[in-house]
Amino acid sequence: MTGRPPPRRRGWSWRSQAFRGLVYQVLAAAVIGLALWFLAHNTVENMRARGIQSGFGFLLQPAGFDIGESVIPYDALEQNWKAFLVGVLNTLRVAVVGIVMATLLGTLLGIGRFSRNAIVRGLCYGYVELFRNIPVLLQLLVWYLFFTDVLPPISEPLSVGGAFFLSKAGFSFPVPVWGLGQALAAAGAALCVPIAWAYRRWAIRQFELTAKARSTFWAPIAIVIAGSFAGWIAGGAPTAWNYPVAGAFTMEGGASATPEFLGVLLGLVLYTAAFIAEVVRAGIASVAHGQVEAAGSLGLSRGQTMRLVILPQALRVIIPPMTSQYLNLTKNSSLAVAIGYPDVVSIATTALNNTGRAVECIAIIMLVYLITSLSTAGFMNWYNARAAIKER
């Protein structure tokens, strides 16, 4: 006899709080499901009574319209589902690049608010107050007009070193001619990413054990670059580049970013970075000043104090509102339709006009933004759990 208490059995009685909670949840789910079914059924019946076609079969029909820029090959004879895919990829391109750039700029501005240099503090403060108080749609329009009206024509672009061009056609830049060397370089970088991640975790553990700081940013980056360089050498060290050349009506060769893409990207980045700067400033200000004094007594420099002491503690305050800013940037990308950037809203609107499937097109837009928002929130919640300070 071990003396262990008998296992508790679930009480399937109305007196059981767990049982009552389960019943209430089932009833709530049933009511919500019934309401959704009623709305969907009523909508379909009303559309049928008025002779309005419904269904998602139009996605398999030819789109019949061109798209100004696309990440993947596309032409007007492609099916509607591929046109929507182009819009989704264009939206994700703006969202992902914008989140990275806004995070870097906003973090620098937030840290700059605590600079000992009054000019730096004033510039950071002025930036935040300027950009966060101008409507984001107005900023998109201003940047688009800058690229289409202020910049020189394509025949006379602004040039840097004969390789980078800025004109009404956007920003053009050289790209390497893809071959075996580039493929091996990319493979080498991908293989070194886990190594860099493992090194960073080891460096953090060593700092916790020995208080000896090791690089947790530049060293992992150097590992990835070294892997990419080794792959490039193994592939024959190719040096061929495809340079853009200014033509009469367009830039030929190289790669380019259109004025529409640059307008929506810069507008969203500069606007969102102002809010991220305030989030970072509030997170840093929440760390007790005694932590700074303790770091100074250990001989840590101001930069080490910020990187190793203040920011890790401030993350628990920074991450939740930062998630909201990421979601806002992604959803604000729908304003790109105002300057002609072919995001998912723009393409859905064109498909709606061609097919008349308003409910279906709007449902696709809602589904795209719902999935992207939930994915972003889920990733940030996971990161928040990892970055949380573990209490002993």
Which band of pLDDT confidence, cut at 50, 70 and 90, is reported for residue 334?
very high
**Which residues have CB under 8 Å from 54's CB, separation 6+?**
44, 47, 48, 357, 359, 360
**Reduced to 3 DSSP states, what percent helix, strand and coil does the chain have, rounded to the nearest 5?**
65, 5, 25
User: Of all helices (H) and strands (E), which one includes residue 374?
Assistant: helix 358-387
Q: DSSP letter for 79, please.
A: B
Among 216, 217, 218, 219, CA closest to 203? 216
Per DSSP, the residues of 200-227 read HHHHHHHHHHH-----SSHHHHHHHHHH
Distance between CA atoms of residues 198 and 220, nearest Å = 9
Among 323, 340, 336, CA closest to 365? 336
- Burial of residue 147 (CB within 10 Å: 0-12, 13-18, 19+) is buried
Q: What is the pLDDT of residues 133-157, one digit of tens each?
A: 999 999 999 999 999 888 888 888 8
Distance between CA atoms of residues 357 and 52, nearest Å = 8
pTM of the model: 0.83
pLDDT of 45 > 70? The answer is yes
4 token code pair: 């262990």
> Which has more pLDDT, 346 or 3?
346
Q: What is the pLDDT of residues 221-269, one digit of tens each?
A: 999 999 999 998 988 888 888 888 877 677 788 888 899 999 999 999 9
Q: What is the mean pLDDT of residues 182-193?
A: 91
pLDDT of 12 reads: 72
198 token code pair: 């493992």
pLDDT of 8 reads: 55
Relative orientation angle of helices 259-285 and 136-145, to the nearest 10 degrees: 140
Most distant CA pair in the chain, distance? 93
pLDDT of 40 > 90? The answer is no
> Which has more pLDDT, 87 or 16?
87
pLDDT of 10 reads: 53
Among 68, 72, 78, 61, CA closest to 360? 61
Distance between CA atoms of residues 323 and 227, nearest Å = 32
CA torsion sign for 244, 165, 95, 60 is: negative
Angle at 360 between CA 356 and CA 362, to 5 degrees: 95
* CB neighbours of residue 319 within 10 Å: 19
Distance between CA atoms of residues 261 and 246, nearest Å = 20
Q: Are 335 and 141 in contact (CB under 8 A)?
A: no
pLDDT of 137 reads: 93
What are the DSSP E strand ranges found in 56-112? Answer: none
Q: What is the pLDDT of residues 101-119, one digit of tens each?
A: 999 999 999 999 988 899 9
Q: How far is CA 237 from CA 178, 243, 253, 283, in A?
A: 12, 18, 22, 46
pLDDT of 129 reads: 94
151 token code pair: 């910049």
212 token code pair: 């000896």
pLDDT of 1 > 50? The answer is no
Q: Tell me the CB-side half-sphere exposure of residue 359, using CA atoms within 13 A.
A: 15
Q: Are 67 and 372 in contact (CB under 8 A)?
A: no
Distance between CA atoms of residues 234 and 188, nearest Å = 10
**Which residues have CB under 8 Å from 373's CB, separation 6+?**
327, 330, 331
Radius of gyration of the chain (CA): 27
